[in-house]
Amino acid sequence: MAPMPIRDAQRMPGLVTGRIVLPGVTVELCVFPEVEPQMLAVTEEETMLSLGLSRLLAGSEGRIASDRRTPFVRFGALGLRLAGIPMEMRVAGGAFHTVRCRFEADVLESRLAPRPLTDAQLAACFDIRVQTIEDAMLRLAAEVEHPGPDSAALTAALVEVILLDLRRYLDDARHRAERNRGGLPPRLVRRVLERIDEPGAAPTIGELAAVCSLSRFHFMRCFRETMGMSPGAFIRQARIARAKALLATDKRPLADLARELGYCGLPAFSAAFRKATGRSPGAYRALLR
């Protein structure tokens, strides 16, 4: 099948492979075919939280369309698109799988924030790096894939956990923007994230500092101000995210994946993955099958 516009892919009858419907929210597994690289304007009718279960489409970006001076930010594996907010999206070509929660209009207004979201909070929705939300979304994916007698109750409980953690995340994004006076500008953030996302071994902090033409110390301080964590912690988190994408879509032996990710061997990969996720790579792979 030839690559198609993403809007056409979204209307395909076989796009959704499973769903659980609850009052106010629908949880779905989606398998997108090969889509074309394109630029498009989007205003969602429903608020949608999605987690990629396959390799990220490298280079995909988005921004809130209210001000064209607003810089584009990268799409992460986990993202939130709010209903009624115009967005511009640069979508890279490729096929991908997702689990998503579609919330009916107005369901989240009183749940996520007591006041309108700031520009910083809206920008933070494109790349949400919260392990607890990812874990809950993965459990939702497993529940949709293999539903049981208590699936509705478990799904409702997981959605509640996700909403609480989303509110905490958005509150933190607002506070971080209010106190951020010495962080990295958006263009340097994009360069750093592009370098971190490159295949192969993880970059060193010195390499990332060089990308920004900053000293190692100054880069570390600015990075923490911008991202809310140290560069080392962020690199480890990004490496695990890449590992998750490979485990979801690549059937090669785990030792081969460990080498591709830059680990010295399978034991090191397994230890790092278990520490980050609470599961071994093999158990994580089995969860998504």
* pLDDT over threshold 90, residue 164: yes
Q: Which residues contact 216 (CB under 8 A, 6 or more apart)?
A: 205, 206, 209
CA pair distance 118, 224, nearest whole angstrom: 20
Q: Find which of 87-101, 149-163, 191-205, 259-273 is predicted with most confidence, using mean pLDDT.
A: 149-163
* pLDDT over threshold 90, residue 174: no
CA pair distance 73, 59, nearest whole angstrom: 10
Q: Find which of 28-32, 186-190, 256-260 is predicted with most confidence, using mean pLDDT.
A: 28-32
Domains of the chain, by residue range, sit at: 6-179, 186-287
pLDDT range class, residue 119, cuts 50, 70, 90: confident
* pLDDT over threshold 70, residue 182: no
Tell me, what's the pLDDT at 74? 79
Contact criterion met (CB below 8 Å) for 132 and 161? yes
Mean of pLDDT values over 124-133 = 88
Task: Summarize pLDDT for 60-111 with one digit per residue, the tens.
Answer: 888 888 667 777 887 888 999 988 889 998 888 888 889 999 998 767 766 7
Tell me, what's the pLDDT at 101? 96
More confident call, 111 vs 165: 165
Average pLDDT, the chain: 85
Percent of all residues in the chain with a pLDDT value above 70, rounded to a whole number = 92
Q: Which residue has the tokens 């460990």?
A: 258
Tell me, what's the pLDDT at 151? 92
CA pair distance 15, 270, nearest whole angstrom: 33
Tell me, what's the pLDDT at 239? 85
Task: Summarize pLDDT for 207-255 with one digit per residue, the tens.
Answer: 999 999 999 999 998 888 888 789 999 888 888 878 887 787 678 899 9
Tell me, what's the pLDDT at 20? 96
Contact criterion met (CB below 8 Å) for 78 and 133? yes
CA pair distance 240, 261, nearest whole angstrom: 9
Find the range with the poorest average confidence among 79-83, 183-187, 188-192.
183-187
Tell me, what's the pLDDT at 289? 60
Tell me, what's the pLDDT at 163? 93
- DSSP calls for 111-154: HH-SSPPPHHHHHHTTS---HHHHHHHHHHHHHHHS--TTHHHH
* pLDDT over threshold 60, residue 58: yes
pLDDT range class, residue 183, cuts 50, 70, 90: confident
Tell me, what's the pLDDT at 94? 84
State the CATH class of domain 6-179. mainly beta
The CATH T-level fold of domain 186-287 is Arc Repressor Mutant, subunit A (1.10.10)
CA pair distance 215, 209, nearest whole angstrom: 6
